[in-house]
Every structure is written in C-alpha cells, then in structure tokens.
Amino acid sequence: MLDLTGYMEFQDFSGIYALCNYFSRKTRYHDEASELINLFKQEPRFEKKVISVITRIASDGLRKIIKPDYVLRALGSKEIRVTWRKPLDYLALGIALACRAEYKPFALAKDKWTSDSRMLGTLERHLQISNTYKLDQSQIKNKSTILIVDDLTTTQATLKVILQVIKEKLPEAKCLAFVLGRSRFPYEAPSCNNENFLSDYKSYNTHDWEEYFDNLHKQLREVYKI
C-alpha cells in the first residue's frame, strides 16, 4: 500500500492511498502490476479472479489504517449515475465491508457524460469535469469521514472535483481517497517499486477467491435492490 498523504498534489485530502504505481501500456515500463490494474478495469468481460483478489488486498490493507463512515466511488465517463455491476462497485463495497463503513453508490451523480480522460491533457481534463458532479447530502452526515474510491489517478481532476463537491455540501466532513494505481511518467520509473503489491497478489491468489467474489456479488444485489 502506497501512502500518498502529504504530497503536494494531494494536500487537500486528510489521507490518500494507492495500491501500486501504474505505467501506461504505451511505455516500456508497463509492468505486471499495471497490467493487473488494466485487467481489473476490463469491461464488459469481467476478470472475476482479478477483481476478487485485488479487492481483498485493498480491503485488508485499508481496514488497518483508516476508519471511514462512508465509501463513495467515482463515476465512469459514460455514467450519469452509478451503473450496476461495475468493477469499482465490488472494490468499493469490499472496502466498506472490511472497514465497517456504509457503501453509498447513489450519493454521487453527474449532470453529463465526460470524455475519456486518456484522450485529454491535464488542463482539458480539469475543465471538462469541473462542475459535473453532484452530491445528495441527505445520504451522508456532516462531520463524517468519507472515502472516495477510483481506479486510477493521473491529473487528480476527478478526486479533486468530488472533494470540492463534498466540502461545499458537508464542510465539516473529513475526506480520504483510495486508488488502485497512481499513474507515473517513464522518468519516474527508477524510483517506483511494485514488489509488495505483486507479492500480496501471489499470496492472495491462492485464497478462495470465487467464494469471496460470489459473496460480494450477493451483497451488491442487496445494495442495488435487485
């Protein structure tokens, strides 16, 4: 688990964590850890084993260091509201259960679709996502601790916009964030190490991942009332 708390670009958060460093497939530094994150994100064909193992690693790691009251997840570029059975749903719910928090998938919404961030520069990404998120504060108490979950952070645009929306509605809330991967540039590769994550993945890979995934799926159906 990477603790990014205190880094200049994340200073607005009370705590922020990542599972690993991520390198794009476009670079020669794209490694096994980065490919596992890509497999986790893959849709519509689910990699159930990858989702299950990664969710368990993240959940077990976070429950030892944070105690959120609520867990929210970021929305995809083509989501106005949460869409049933996304990989991030399993991750967010798994973390909430491990941390004894409430998963609130319907607390966040957007007023429009957004472009794929991979096609945009930093400034473009910030401009297009600004003012798109909305928070239903009736689902969350003020003075609570909220964990925002996303798969990757590159420009921090999504996390910062969600943070801003939460603070506008719930000024006394404490905001944390968790991402699977922190995007890194090729020149940063020498200082990046994903060995701990890969070691954990190999260890958890032997666990009863099918039973864990099926249990998450069952509880997601209850959350979505399906």
Q: How do strand 70-73 and strand 102-103 relate by DSSP bridges?
A: parallel
Higher pLDDT, 126 or 18: 18
Beta strand segments in 76-168, E: 102-103, 108-110, 133-135, 145-153
What does the pLDDT read at residue 119? 59
Q: What is the pLDDT of residue 205?
A: 85
Q: CA-to-CA distance for 60 and 77, rounded, in angstroms?
A: 28
Give me the torsion for CA of 91, 93, 99, 101, rounded to 10°.
140
184-209 pLDDT, tens digit each: 999 999 999 999 999 999 999 877 99
**Tens digit of each residue's pLDDT (9 = 90 or more) over 66-118:** 999 999 999 988 899 998 889 999 999 999 999 999 999 999 999 987 766 66
% of the chain surpassing 90 pLDDT: 77
- The first and second tokens of residue 74, run together, are 């970021």
pLDDT for position 35: 97
* pLDDT the model gives residue 44: 76
Rounded to an integer, the average pLDDT of 217-226 is 92
- The answer to whether residue 25 scores a pLDDT higher than 80 is yes
Q: What is the mean pLDDT of residues 154-172?
A: 93
Structural domain boundaries of the chain? 2-223
Band (pLDDT 50/70/90 cuts) for residue 43 is: confident
What does the alpha-carbon distance between residue 16 and residue 3 come to, in Å, rounded to a whole number? Answer: 6
For position 118, what pLDDT does the model report?
A: 60
Residue pair 70/101 in contact (Cβ under 8 Å)? The answer is yes
Residue with tokens 């009251």: 69
Which tokens in the block code for residue 14? 């009370």
pLDDT at residue 1, rounded to an integer = 92
The domain over range 2-223 is classified in CATH as 1.10.101: no
Residue 166 predicted with pLDDT over 80 = yes
